[in-house]
Chain A
Amino acid sequence: MNDFLPNISLMLDSVLDSLLWFYPELVLGILFILVIITDLFFSKRFQNAVFLLTSFGLGVVGYFILLQLNAPSETTVFSGMIRPDKLSTYFKVILCVVSLLFLLFIRDNKELKSHDKGTGDLHAILIAVLFGMNLMVMSSNLLMIYLSIEMVSVGSYIMVGYISGTAKQTEAAMKYALFGAVCSAMMLYGMSLVYAFTGTLNFIDPAFLSGLSSVSTLSSGIALGMIMVGIGFKLSFVPMHFWTPDVYEGAPTPVTAFLATGPKIAGFALLIRLLDSLGGTKAALDFNEILGGIALITMIAGNFSAIWQNNVKRMLAYSSIGHTGFILLSVLAFSQAGQKALIFYLSIYALMNMAAFMLADYIEEKSGAKNLDEYKGLGQKLPLTFFLFVIVLVSLTGLPPTAGFIGKLLVFSAALEMYNSTGSLLVMVLIIAGALVTLVSLFYYINVPLNAYLRQSNHEVEITEIKTFKIYLSLFLTIIILVLGIFPQLLTSFIVI
């Protein structure tokens, strides 16, 4: 131990240097404490205090992230723990926007607002989760992966069970927690095995690769596979997707929206990171093939199951599973262009899902309709809402002229390019499957306009469309989706990798 003493000051220096790259997270940390304090002491007097503070704080975080975007770090910091490079910064931007949207979403959700617990804690948890997600996208160390995933998970468990107003909510929270815990335990075990094989936790370390290559493929496969379980839980791809529909259905809608976007995007960032370092190794699992298979099954399982759903949130949950499969396709394509396509797709995906859940939430609040068959005839009564909903769903399907289409186009482009270079049949099959499930997805998305516009309700209910903040927000999101569908360079020109 004494051998290291002289190094301590050096290490401290490096930590302090590293802090330069850590401003957003530092702000988040401070914000977390401030929000808790504010909530404890000021929320009685100033109802909006927590909200204002959080949004302001997120603004500051965003500012720092943008600063970081201009000067990303080329190396890892905090002794190889995190790597705040450009790619991760882009993800952080998306995550920050998602959190901001979530914040606005909570503000306009009756269920959450009317709960006597208030939303103060939720804000704090959001910040903590965002902190975790930021770490996730930056992590370059197994420990950091575990740490950040747990941070996000624990936060999300609380979010899902935050109100516990109904049996379903608690059930969702329990399922989420138990399933998540098992998954993260498996991941941890996998990590311990990897650690055993390689002797290092830093997965960018060359030793990491060589260590993995030195053991049998079965061993390394099992170890890495178990790590994948943890990430798969976040991404909810097959077979780690089981929790998704139940939790999405049970959780409060804003939380569902957040779960479908934030942690998932962070999970993808993590996956890219991990694959990046594993890339090229034949010793470890042939990840391309495996991920390809998983992507295929996920697309099919998600989209086909969605056909049967009646609950809107559940349907969206399955569709998000399907989307995971599709995004995996672009992860597979795994080139710079693939990453760019991925970032674009993920940002669009976040916007679309947020908008979709907001609209579903709005409809539920206005008419109490949770299920598709309760949407009957609502198209006439809530014209703007359903107009927006249809556009969002069109975008989710991936049809022009929406941003979803451009995203799909980019993903297909990346995949086809990969096919061109590798000639792998699997990729071709994946591409075709991707096209097929687009059709299938239409099959269930169309149920929304089908019920809302084409069918008439049996019982007449008086509903007037009051334009709340949420509607304006989703209108704004929809417009962005449309504009990006026609002029995608407005967004992509920012993404320079």
Chain B
Amino acid sequence: MPLISFVWVSTLAKRGSGISILSILCSLILSAIVFTRVWNGQPQHFQVHWFSVGSYHLTAGILLNNLSAGMILLVSGVAFIVHLYSIQYMRSDPYLRRYWRYLSLFCFSMMALVVVDNLLVLYMFWELVGFTSYLLIGFWYKRDYAVQAAKKAFIFNRIGDLGFLAGIMILLNQFGTLNITELFGDGGAISNAMIEDGVWISGTHQMPAVWLTLAGGAFFFGAIAKSAQFPLHAWLPDAMAGPTSVSSLIHAATMVAAGIFLIARIYPIFDQNILMLMVITGSITSFMAATIALVQNDLKQILAFSTISQLGFMMLAMGIGAYDAALFHLTTHAFFKCLLFLCAGAVIHQLEYFKQAAKIEFDCQDIRNMGGLKNYMPITFTAMLFASMALAGLPFTSGYLSKDSILLYSFDWASSQTGLMSLVPYLAVLTSLATTFYIARLIFKVFFGSFRQKQRIPVLEPPSIMKVSLMLLVLFCVFPMFSWNPFSVENSWILKGFSADVQVLSQSRLLHILVPLLVTFVSFALIYLASIVYSKRDGDGSVTQVARDSFIYELFYHQWFINKLYNVIFVIPLMYLSRVSSILDNKIVDGLVNGAGRSVLFLGALSTFVDRYIIDGIVNLLGSISKSIGNVTRHFQSGRVQHYMITMILLLLTFFIFKYFS
């Protein structure tokens, strides 16, 4: 199979843009071939002996099934487009070669990540994508915040990686293999293992049953760090410090999806507790991030929170057992989020040019500084519009299909749940609506209204290569790519492909029709609202002006009211709710992180102190004790010979007395 070759091509592609593009194109073609062969066919599996430790013989190999084939096509596809885009986007950067090198390395590791068949190798690439992401976030290493963000991203990922590693340890311990097929395949080790009397038994090995939950939890922990889920999501917004093309590829489409991918790949390990945890995490994250996105002003930040929110959706879907829907959403999301970022990148890129040309200072990423761009950049606008519609889940887009499926599943699932859990689908709907609103806000603020800079130099449409890549992505945002029936999720071939081995969608008809209709309707209403709020404004675009509009004021007020409410609650230990506010988010998560950092530093200082004064002190004390013994003995050496004699005789006498009279 040609897979090996593309791995090589990718590794070799460390020089220059040409080779990179070429190699990623090769990868794309190869993976397309692979895809067509594997999709809905027999999973393919190749492996070679890697090394043995003790009785474990570890193999490294490639496992191709629907999941990995789909993912690899997705990754290579998105990567190709981003590469294309980057040619133009990064053209003027002085460290271009470094950029291509990193990007190639990333593509290599990401693609390897999705196909490998061994958890340890998976882990290696898992960390490697984290590492390349570190490199790319910190690409502009002269900027302090970029470096900080890179470090933060790496450390956060590392925390998650620990979970992953712990999971690997548990599995290796229990099953003695890390091969994914052997572990999770049909009749694999996991399905054969059973729990009896609180003991988790697999063959001859056994552990307390809690370790099963812990193993799932560990992997889940790894996944939430990578996929930026609450509470380890704080790195992703910061990661926007990297080049936008990178953000689109890594932090929107591929790497962050790796967490979801991992969960999909090792799905059988998760027991009910962890699935429940997934639901909770997913819904909290998606809702929280969506609300945060509502009030952000930085273009990329909005998109970042949106990504977090969408990933939360996927996580939620995973948790409720909608394995297929989650992956479907993953696929569609990859494309439209990538497109969103690329468009945003185009906007920012062009504004940078404009800024240079007009010689004025403003923040190119702040949406308050934009407006009316649809006149200047129609193509970008169109692309962005499609993407946004997909994100909002409007009909005829890919997002509609996938998002709806998740919502439907969640309603299904909720019907079997009681208590607080039954609220999950409503929260999801709410989130979905919030999503519609913030993305509408974004679109209107950026593209409608009038341009908010005084200079009359036109902002230009991005160069053609960028345009081409945008248009390519637009294709993937519309329904036909995924399902011929724009309203029927069930017909989606991707969903079918993924669900083959999981479960069949079964739902009550009424709900199936009602929910999408309702959501769509409200969405449109919200878009309209947003258009009223944001597009009609012109000129300075100050918030006060918005605030005067009573209806919108009301709405805004409510938004902030919630934040204030959380502000109050923040004192009480319900801290996680407080993350609805991005400000608080920074304060708490970052505060915790910084606090942890500081306390670690303090501990470090403390241990240094211990080292220097206590341990060394003891050592030196021993030295001085021996010296003082010497001092005692040498005090007899007075230099007077008669003293010597007296001492000698006294010592002898003492000795005799001790010997014979005691």
Chain A positions within 8 Å of B, measured between CB atoms, are: 174-175, 178-179, 182, 217-218, 221-222, 225, 229, 238-240, 242-243, 245-246, 285, 290, 300-301, 303-308, 440, 443
In the bound complex, do residue A300 and residue B629 qualify as a contact, i.e. CB atoms below 8 Å apart?
yes
Interface secondary structure of B, over-half rule: helix
In the bound complex, do residue B652 and residue A225 qualify as a contact, i.e. CB atoms below 8 Å apart?
yes
In the bound complex, do residue B660 and residue A218 qualify as a contact, i.e. CB atoms below 8 Å apart?
yes
Given A239-B647, A242-B648, A307-B626, are A225 and B633 also a contact pair (CB < 8 Å)?
no
In the bound complex, do residue A242 and residue B630 qualify as a contact, i.e. CB atoms below 8 Å apart?
no
In the bound complex, do residue B656 and residue A239 qualify as a contact, i.e. CB atoms below 8 Å apart?
no
In the bound complex, do residue B656 and residue A222 qualify as a contact, i.e. CB atoms below 8 Å apart?
yes
Q: How far is the CB of B621 from chain A (nearest CB, A)?
A: 14
Residues of B within 8 A of A305 (CB): 630, 633-634, 637
In the bound complex, do residue B641 and residue A175 qualify as a contact, i.e. CB atoms below 8 Å apart?
yes
Residues of A within 8 A of B634 (CB): 305, 308
In the bound complex, do residue B651 and residue A238 qualify as a contact, i.e. CB atoms below 8 Å apart?
yes
In the bound complex, do residue B627 and residue A308 qualify as a contact, i.e. CB atoms below 8 Å apart?
yes
Q: How far is the CB of B649 from chain A (nearest CB, A)?
A: 8
Kindly identify which residue among A221, A238, A240, A242 contacts B659, using a CB–CB cutoff of 8 Å. A221
**B94 part of interface (Cβ distance < 8 Å):** no
Q: Mark B630-646, 1 if CB is under 8 A from A, else 0.
A: 11011011010100110
Residues of B within 8 A of A217 (CB): 660
Which 5 A-B residue pairs are closest in the complex by CB-CB distance?
A242-B644, A304-B630, A239-B651, A305-B634, A175-B641
Bound Cα distance from A246 to B639, whole angstroms: 7
In the bound complex, do residue A246 and residue B637 qualify as a contact, i.e. CB atoms below 8 Å apart?
yes
Query: Can you list 8 A-B pairs with a CB-CB distance of less than 8 A?
Result: A221-B660, A229-B652, A239-B651, A242-B636, A242-B637, A243-B641, A301-B633, A305-B630
Residues of A within 8 A of B652 (CB): 225, 229, 239
Interface secondary structure of A, over-half rule: helix
Q: How far is the CB of B620 from chain A (nearest CB, A)?
A: 13
In the complex formed, the residue of B with least CB distance to A436 is: B626
Q: How far is the CB of A21 from chain B (nearest CB, A)?
A: 37
Residues of B within 8 A of A222 (CB): 656
Residues of A within 8 A of B651 (CB): 238-239
Q: How far is the CB of B171 from chain A (nearest CB, A)?
A: 49
Given A178-B641, A443-B626, are A300 and B633 also a contact pair (CB < 8 Å)?
yes
Q: How far is the CB of B277 from chain A (nearest CB, A)?
A: 58
In the bound complex, do residue B659 and residue A440 qualify as a contact, i.e. CB atoms below 8 Å apart?
no
Given A217-B660, A300-B633, are A179 and B627 also a contact pair (CB < 8 Å)?
no
Given A239-B651, A242-B647, are A179 and B656 also a contact pair (CB < 8 Å)?
no
Q: How far is the CB of A313 from chain B (nearest CB, A)?
A: 14
Bound Cα distance from A306 to B648, whole angstroms: 19
Bound Cα distance from A179 to B647, whole angstroms: 12
Q: How far is the CB of A209 from chain B (nearest CB, A)?
A: 20
Kindly identify which residue among B637, B648, B660 contacts A239, using a CB–CB cutoff of 8 Å. B648
Residues of B within 8 A of A238 (CB): 651
With most chain A CB atoms within 10 A of its CB, the pick from B633, B641, B644, B647 is B633
In the complex formed, the residue of B with least CB distance to A301 is: B633
Given A304-B630, A308-B630, are A290 and B637 also a contact pair (CB < 8 Å)?
no
Q: How far is the CB of A229 from chain B (nearest CB, A)?
A: 7
Bound Cα distance from A174 to B642, whole angstroms: 11
Bound Cα distance from A300 to B627, whole angstroms: 11
Q: How far is the CB of B622 from chain A (nearest CB, A)?
A: 10
With most chain A CB atoms within 10 A of its CB, the pick from B631, B636, B644 is B644
Residues of A within 8 A of B631 (CB): 308
In the bound complex, do residue B626 and residue A225 qualify as a contact, i.e. CB atoms below 8 Å apart?
no
Residues of A within 8 A of B648 (CB): 229, 239-240, 242
Residues of A within 8 A of B644 (CB): 175, 179, 242-243
Q: How far is the CB of A290 from chain B (nearest CB, A)?
A: 7
Q: How far is the CB of A282 from chain B (nearest CB, A)?
A: 14
Residues of B within 8 A of A245 (CB): 637
Kindly identify which residue among B626, B641, B645 contacts A174, using a CB–CB cutoff of 8 Å. B641
In the bound complex, do residue B656 and residue A304 qualify as a contact, i.e. CB atoms below 8 Å apart?
no
Bound Cα distance from A221 to B652, whole angstroms: 11
Residues of A within 8 A of B645 (CB): 178-179, 182
In the bound complex, do residue B627 and residue A307 qualify as a contact, i.e. CB atoms below 8 Å apart?
yes
Bound Cα distance from A131 to B623, whole angstroms: 45
Bound Cα distance from A225 to B651, whole angstroms: 12
Kindly identify which residue among B633, B637, B639, B641 contacts A179, using a CB–CB cutoff of 8 Å. B641
Bound Cα distance from A285 to B652, whole angstroms: 14
Q: How far is the CB of B548 from chain A (nearest CB, A)?
A: 81
